[in-house]
Structure 1
Amino acid sequence: MEKQFDKILEAQKQFFATGLTYDVNFRKNSLKLLKGAMLLHEKEILDALHTDLGKGPTEGYMSEFGLTLSAIDWQIRHLDHNAAPHYHYTPLHEFPAISKTIHIPYGNVLIMAPWNYPFLLAMVPLVEALAAGNTAIVKTGHAAAATSKAIENLLTSTFDCEYVAVSTGGRDEISALLDLKFDYIFFTGGKKLGSLVYESASRQMTPVTLELGGKSPAIVDETANLALAARRIVFGKFLNAGQTCVAPDYVVVHESVKEPFLAALTNEIRKQYPNPEDIGKIINESHYEHLISLVDPSKVVVGGSASGPTLQIEATVMDNVDWDDPIMQEEIFGPILPILTYKNFKPLMRKIASLPTPLAFYLFSRDKLHQQYVERIQPYGGGCINDTIIHLTSDNLPFGGMGASGIGHYHGKYGFDTFSHDKAVIQKGALDLPMRYNDRKPWMASLIRLVLH
């Protein structure tokens, strides 16, 4: 198996060495080709998402397929500007000269995707890697078997493997791929595998982006619009059956508004999910059983029912949860929402800041001071004020973690930059400042101080 990947990677190195991927028109045509192939394979891809995760065609398009099309369009639209040399101010002590940065591709990229958004989180990094001029091997989220197969069909019918290749296997293939020397690794997934990727990359001195996860909080203070908070938290939490890396993992609500907030939350769940079977499916039996083990029936105030044969868990809310409860010790990654309460805002912020840094943070508040605190001081990867998860859908904002929730970011220009090396170049002519050389005159010492101060 490793020899097979060796051959593919060597073919990609040879293809990259031809310099063809440096050509901006080649990159644009590749992205246009990928978009056209996606449209031809749309039904197959959406059907696969339904098979793996129970996503209906509208949710599959909204949360994965359509966002990928948007990412392609953004890169095509901005590619000329992003790939062009960028000119910079030249300091006086280097005058006369031209200062610029040249964006060059890293070369051969490994993209490792998860199973929870198996199409989106494989394809958007690929789109940005190709826009930056790289070749790629895409390791799909193998637990989402149908979508992995659909991605394989899409990419093998669109590109030669010397440019873009696909791996759909499990642990053995992951291990074989990590033994190879790539120029860049982009990983999305859990912390356990992410740490192994990081360790392997460090041995090869390979730069990485790690998109991980964590327990992302939603805070509802006493000034919040409770109906709106409930509506948007229900949307963000139970999308994809809670299997979203930036889903609100838990809610901490001010004790003075807990009861009306719970009433609004209950009403909103019944409105958005009138039937338990409306929610998506859990990816596999082992994750389903793990989620069931986290539910304390004595604390369930909404939902709680589950179906083993269909791997579905009803949208469930647990009240009177404590920070020490089992459900608060790890990222939930399912349709179970714990509710905690607080009295004072800043002690709560310090408590959350003492925990592993979350990938996302959500505040529902009309209090400007609370908003400013969360924006400027509280550590997290990214987030929203008075909404959930929509920050990751913008091609104009970076998406990524901080601390335990990840390294690096992507989307739009940030994704292009992630897969590019910014090469600094100073271009000089014949003119020079004589004070730089060791045979300078004594009086030039004061001039040096003047220029560099």
Structure 2
Amino acid sequence: MALTYTPVDDIPQIVQELRATFKSGLTKPLNYRREQLKGLFNLLDENEELFRESTFKDLHKPPAETLLGEILTVKQECHEAIKNLEKWAAKQPIKTGLVNKMDGVHIRKDPLGMVLIIGAWNYPTNLLLAPAVGAIAAGNTVVLKPSEVSSHTAALITRLLPKYLDSRSYRIINGAATETTVLLEHKFDHIFYTGSGNIGKIIMGAAAKQLTPVTLELGGKSPAFISKEVDLTIAARRIAFGKYFNCGQTCIAPDYVIIERGSEDELITQINAAILEFYTAAPQTSDSYGRIVNKNHFHRLKSILDKTQGKVVTGGDTQEDDLYIAPTVVLGVKPEDSLMEAELFGPILPIMVVDSIDEGIDYVNDHDQPLALYVFSKSSKVTDHILDNTRSGGVLVNDTLTHFLVPGLPFGGTGPSGIGNYHGQRSFDVFSHERSTLVKSLGMEKVNDLKYPPYTEKKISWAAWALFDKAKYSANAANPGANGSDSKL
């Protein structure tokens, strides 16, 4: 089924209809939200084979990787949201002092309104629908913009979504730069974007014109530190898994390795053993190894690899007709190497050899904060030293990728690797407004006399006593700094 772009002239009408639906209050009842979440779960549960086929056509993604990285993760998000919806949406009571003891003080969790979610091509189901779980659970109407690069999956979701979700509240708009540009001209109450930093800047610029808040899930060069005392066999298997899963086209893939001098040869031996174990001696024929998404990305990666000054010690084979790049390891890369200029987003693993962990820390800190940072070490002292002296969106110790699968862990970047985070309750919170609410009692009017004119020393003194700790304030309100207290607010 070919992907049909949404006519540009239809976009304003779609946006207007979704805005009207939100104003009608349709999406606010918890029962409605719950039923829509069940529908999204069933969409994935009942069409698993179709999603496997579409992602294979888009990315030659092995069916197991589609199940693990796309279907199960979104179903888990749906399950968590359905199970916890009442708790997440409940008013949050706030402890108060004496003045408000008789009042109602709480935080409401209100939906933001109409939101826009723009997905990414590398995980075309997960990165579109996982944020949608939070938006639906929070009671919003949603515009979903799939990536046109993964066109087969975009077409499948476009066909299936109206069968499982209420089209009055949730709509898909397909297209490329032209359609997205028109879409961004409209006012949304939140924009959630997953993709590259360069496009993220465009999204943020468009949002700024409307004062629309954004969540940006971007990327960056995620390093993997390997300390001397770690078991290199285990480290190599886990790094190879994270690097070559989805053919390296994962925003949190370990982008490069930092290893202390003297351990690099053994690491390469063990990575080679892992590649042989995972993909056989001929990865191109393996049912477990994917492909590059299109020729543009293939040529980008091949050009970078051709220019490297490092030594290709594993792989390096490419075949354009099959969009195939072998699992590749490059040893001895320098900071100025072509492989170290930007996030690779492919199955090429540079190894940077350093004389000390601190040298690696300095390199990481001289560049943008990564989306993920990996540490392989048996020593908590070494691990803490690395984490205490670096910044990143998230951290995983002694494994790769799997922190993405924990719903209770907020997932997101920092600085150039992203703004905001999601997963689990955080997805609900992203698309909710925490509305501070104070419900005053109509009784005890004599107490309120303290705030009314005419003001007197006695009134101010009593007010200070009621609002703050009595011991920190003198009876003489005209001297608020007495007894060493600081009354500045």
TM-score when normalising by structure 2: 0.90
8 Å contact 1:95–1:433 — kept in the other structure? no
Q: C-alpha offsets along residues 133-188 of structure 1, whole Å, 9 cap, x if unaligned?
A: 01111110110011111111121222343311112211111111111111110000
Q: Does 1:226 align with 2:232?
A: yes
CA deviations on 1:97-136 (whole Å, 9 max, x unpaired) are 2210110111111100010000100010111110110111
Gaps of 5+ in 1: none
Matches within 5 A, 1:21-420: 21-274=27-280, 275-277=282-284, 278=286, 279-296=289-306, 299-420=311-432
User: CA–CA distance in 2 between the matches of 1:272 and 1:334?
Assistant: 17
Does the Cα contact within 8 Å between 2:27 and 2:169 map onto a contact in 1?
Answer: no
Residues 1:452 and 2:472 are matched in the alignment? no
Letter in 2 for 1:452: F
Alpha-carbon distance in structure 1 between the residues aligned to 2:453 and 2:335: 66
The 2-side partners of 1:112 and 1:448 are apart by 51
Q: Deviation string for 1:208-256 (max 9, x for gaps)?
A: 1000000000010112121111011001000000000000000011113
Q: Which moved more, 1:194-203 or 1:363-372?
A: 363-372
Question: What secondary structure is seen at the aligned counterpart in 2 of 1:100?
Answer: strand
Counterpart residue identity of residue 365, structure 1: S
What does the per-residue CA deviation read over 1:368-412, in whole Å, with 9 as the maximum and x for residues that have no partner?
222123344421000201111111111111000000000000000
Q: Which amino acid aligns with 2:129?
A: M
**Corresponding residue for 1:427?**
439
Task: Quote the offset at 1:342 in angstroms.
Answer: 1.2
1:437 aligned residue (452, 466, 478): 452
Q: Deviations over 1:232-283 (max 9, x none)?
A: 1001000000000000000011113122112111111111121221320101
CA contact (8 A) 1:90 1:98 kept: no
Q: Equivalents in 1 of 2:385, 2:212: separation in Å?
A: 36
For 2:166 and 2:108, the matched residues in 1 are separated by: 28
Does the 8 Å contact 1:12/1:161 carry over to 2?
Answer: no
Secondary structure, in 3 states, of the residue corresponding to 1:31?
Answer: helix
Q: Is there any run of 5+ residues in structure 2 with no aligned partner, and where?
A: 1-6, 470-489
Query: How many Å separate the matches in 2 of 1:376 and 1:438?
Result: 53
**d(CA) in 2 for partners of 1:19, 1:377:** 48
CA RMSD of aligned residues (A): 1.5
Cα pair 2:451 2:459 within 8 Å, conserved: no
Mapped partners of 2:402, 2:415: distance in 1: 21
CA contact (8 A) 2:193 2:216 kept: yes
The 3-state SS of whatever aligns with 2:147 is: coil
Partner of 2:472: none
For 1:276, the aligned partner's letter is P
Q: TM-score, normalised by structure 1?
A: 0.97
Q: Distance in 2 between matches of 1:314 and 1:77?
A: 43
Q: Write the letter of the residue equivalent to 1:282.
A: I
Which of these two proteins has the greater Rg computed from alpha carbons? Answer: 2
Q: SS state of the match for residue 149, structure 1?
A: helix
Separation in 2 of the partners of 1:375 and 1:87?
A: 35
Structure 2: distance between partners of 1:228 and 1:130: 40
Query: What is the CA-CA distance between 1:44 and the residue it aligns to?
Result: 1.2
Runs of 4+ in 1 over 6 A off after TM superposition: none
Alignment partner of 1:21: what SS?
coil
Q: Judging changes above 3 Å, is the alpha-carbon distance between structure 1 residues 434 and 187 closer, same or farther for their aligned structure 2 residues?
A: same
Report the Cα offset of residue 20 of structure 1: 1.8
Aligned partner of residue 219 in structure 2, secondary structure: coil
CA contact (8 A) 2:361 2:389 kept: no
Supply the distance in 1 between the matched residues of 2:275 and 2:44 (Cα, whole angstroms). 34
Whichever residue aligns with residue 459 of structure 2, its letter is: M
Query: Structure 1 CA distance, aligned partners of 2:194 and 2:439?
Result: 39
Given that 2:194 and 2:217 are in contact with CA atoms closer than 8 Å, whether structure 1 keeps it comes out as: yes
After superposition, the Cα gap between the structure-2 partners of 1:370 and 1:6, relative to the gap in structure 1 and judged at 3 Å, is: same
